[in-house]
Structure 1
């Protein structure tokens, strides 16, 4: 018998929207990621409970291995995957690492709570795992990961409040709620003060994302629409607010740092409603044992993490979400009677098709990173296109096409500067100026687009504009004062001295 649950319907509609309503066509080279996630969900919904139990322990072992890697990176025995950060685990940067460990930690906290009063070796092992995971979260420096881990504590607190209300101990409820509110406020202030600029920068991203949603609230921009339009909206924001306090916080943005807003921007209010509906339905999940309860807590921790980060852009975290939502016993909607033989045969056929397509697509994906000749396969992949737009070894015959395509997929200040350079070389000064100005508006705290505008005026022979703009650049205080910045300002100073002598 095939059981169709509420999350199957909700996720099915959401996936159909993702593939059918698109701003950017489907990227063939990264199709393996969607197929892998689909296969994980299919297995989580199809395999027996005891198999999911073993899979949960495998994921937990993965988390412990990540902590071991964190320790080795802290001791500088192995290098991280990012030049800016010493600790990344096997992820690209500390954010996803902290989120992954925090999600697992929330579930482990629930297990420890359920085993309170049981003083045996198994309980000690769970406590040790919880301590290791929490250490990994703290070492990563991810505030979103800490919030995910604290989800486990919040769930325990809510259960206690419910118990006290049932016991009619209202005074105790008031005291504990007040204490929790004070602790929560203190923790929030501490997390904000750790990286206030980063927190304010995310607020800027959310404000501009809300502007994207407000322009197309019903259907959204379509899949890929956020990345293709966000930086243009940020440029428009700073063009109309030249004295905003967000100027020194702005940078090139690749993620919206809130998955609900991301879904809203690309699939409108219906998409947001579907995702929120799944979250609401999770409160009605049937809990058969401690394992299913811990999976539910980890699911909630994942949702908390997704409100401040970008887990759906990390394939391993997206697969974790598919496993969590597929393993939970959501409300069944209807049943389909299928003969056992047909059911088993269908299972293996679907699994074989998904596996084969995923492996084939992954092969194209790996080749695409090293072979620009495979452009037809990765022309809609923003990551690969962005990488090739920055490479000097790309053939000149392909550079113009790659830059144009990249500017449509994921425009940012660097891409627009490169487009400005290309048009200036061709003598298209007006288009070049447009690109440089837009690049400057995208990230107003950077001096490079302003310097390129100064050089453009000199190339055009517009000396008066070059002098006027050069003086503005010298009075401009960039976000980062580097040797490159000093060289640019030194060149402008030298030009202005010669101009003053002539005058």
Structure 2
């Protein structure tokens, strides 16, 4: 009888281990999308990650439903699977980054040596910052355990190792927002683990003056650190402030409904045009202005695209998740969520599929626990998300687009045009594709068709070159008034660029649209404006404008 009971218990233990492994496989297969970085086309394209998610959603759903069929409320499998998937993935990312620092692994961006599997150091550093408090939380739990078995001993050293790896790599990323997120979330996890809140209340009761003094010193240190971080990359920080100001202006136009998914680019472009058209801006703002794809603040971007009510609803869900996680003492996942919330104030983690799904799984891990209902609900949500990406996947089209891009770059515009035409129905909401297609038509002198494509590109692309080429199209067709309007819009959208002023100078020198006074004012801007980057192109534009002015003066003196 005892042998039978022992056999049943052993079988049950093996079944529990197998189920835990299945759940872990389902979770890490989905979160592992962060390591996907194909070289089939430009690295900024996320189509392959979305295709991977659509496939792995099926794997996750199968694994999750299998685990739900085993009625065992003792194991918090999903929570531990999320924790250890992120720790392992964070370790891989940190080692990847070390390889790039030492020149053994190629970077994914020509301007940065350190990117991990991402496309620039910012999101990469933010991902490591998200994993850091998760590692801290698990390491502290295992550290305080007196008698660790072999598995726990292995986890203890793995979590400690990943912590040290992240601390080695993170400073090289030069991401101030990631440093801040790491410090705050790490201290929070450490503090709640050792009940700093309770201890602080006791100290406040005993000696309020000392607490006030320490708080004042802490405030000074934090303020000084904030100023130091600001001036570490002052232009970058000023650029973020301008972006947030312009984004806030866009929000005031449609505070309730927003501009729709992917509507940020168009809304921001229009708002920045209006801002600089009013001429009430500083030289610093003109200098740091850009044409961003993201708001570098997920809260503002959410409000622009979906409205303030949607933003408040999302914040309520996140707040509930944190409350639930703290209540259930799931401090590791709560620390990860806090890190992302801080990082999201200064960057765009939710625009990167691999980063976004990690955040969603952290939120779910705070809530799900051992609840079969919550687990089933989350599985259904992931399945629906996977179905959406399965039906709206542009990976194959993007691969074909990369071939067209090669033809476009070497000047084989007719061949490129045929490829763009075949891809238009699939990629007609991709701003970069529409810009290339429209510019290709411009080079082929099909100005009317080029303008139609580029007017659609404006909705999905913030690059002022779209406005410039539309202006050149109208100029080539002899519609000079329309050309001037589009080029003036370009000068307002990005006033620190010399090129649109150069195009305006050429327009005002056109025999059919000669504007001597406007030409002189525009030429003066071209000749005196300080370019962001000195280049041969700037010198050539200035020489050509000088020639136009000399020609104008010569014609003027001749007529007198």
> Which bracket does the TM-score occupy, shorter chain normalised?
0.7 to 0.9
**After superposition, what is the alpha-carbon deviation per residue over 1:338-381, rounded to whole angstroms, capped at 9, x for unaligned?**
9xxxx89x979984994696287254453463452121122123
Give the match for residue 379 of structure 1.
Answer: 428
Computing the radius of gyration over CA atoms, which structure comes out larger, 1 or 2?
Answer: 2
Give the alignment's TM-score, normalised by structure 1: 0.81
Give the alignment's TM-score, normalised by structure 2: 0.73
Structure 2 residue matching 1:167: 3-state secondary structure: helix
**2:497 paired with 1:446:** yes
Task: Give the Cα separation in 2 of the matches to 1:244 and 1:414.
Answer: 23
Aligned with 2:529 (options 463, 467, 476): 476
Give the match for residue 490 of structure 1.
Answer: 543
Displacement after TM superposition at 1:273 (Å): 1.0
* More divergent stretch after superposition (299-308 vs 417-426): 417-426
Q: CA RMSD in A?
A: 3.8
Task: Give the Cα separation in 1 of the matches to 2:256 and 2:58.
Answer: 30
* More divergent stretch after superposition (372-381 vs 204-213): 372-381
Give the match for residue 155 of structure 1.
Answer: 188
Structure 2 residue matching 1:200: 3-state secondary structure: helix
Aligned residue pair count: 470
* More divergent stretch after superposition (179-188 vs 115-124): 115-124
* More divergent stretch after superposition (475-484 vs 228-237): 475-484
Show the 5 A alignment for 1:22-421: 49-115=76-142, 123-156=156-189, 159=192, 161-170=196-205, 171=207, 173-241=211-279, 243-245=281-283, 246-286=285-325, 292-329=330-367, 351=383, 354=386, 358=390, 361-367=393-399, 369-370=401-402, 371-372=419-420, 373-386=422-435, 388-389=437-438, 399-421=450-472
Q: Is the 8 A contact 1:144 1:308 kept in 2?
A: yes
Q: Is the 8 A contact 2:186 2:335 kept in 1?
A: no
Displacement after TM superposition at 1:244 (Å): 2.1
Q: Is the 8 A contact 1:284 1:331 kept in 2?
A: no
Task: Give the Cα separation in 1 of the matches to 2:256 and 2:387.
Answer: 35
**2:480 paired with 1:429:** yes
Q: Is the 8 A contact 2:273 2:492 kept in 1?
A: yes
Q: Is the 8 A contact 1:64 1:132 kept in 2?
A: yes
The 1:393–1:118 alpha-carbon spacing in structure 2 relative to 1, beyond 3 Å, is farther
The 1:347–1:137 alpha-carbon spacing in structure 2 relative to 1, beyond 3 Å, is closer
The 1:486–1:223 alpha-carbon spacing in structure 2 relative to 1, beyond 3 Å, is same
The 1:94–1:429 alpha-carbon spacing in structure 2 relative to 1, beyond 3 Å, is same
Task: Give the Cα separation in 2 of the matches to 1:278 and 1:41.
Answer: 23
Task: Give the Cα separation in 2 of the matches to 1:312 and 1:399.
Answer: 33
* More divergent stretch after superposition (156-165 vs 196-205): 156-165
* More divergent stretch after superposition (363-372 vs 450-459): 363-372
* More divergent stretch after superposition (260-269 vs 50-59): 50-59
In structure 1, runs of 5+ residues without a counterpart are: 1-26
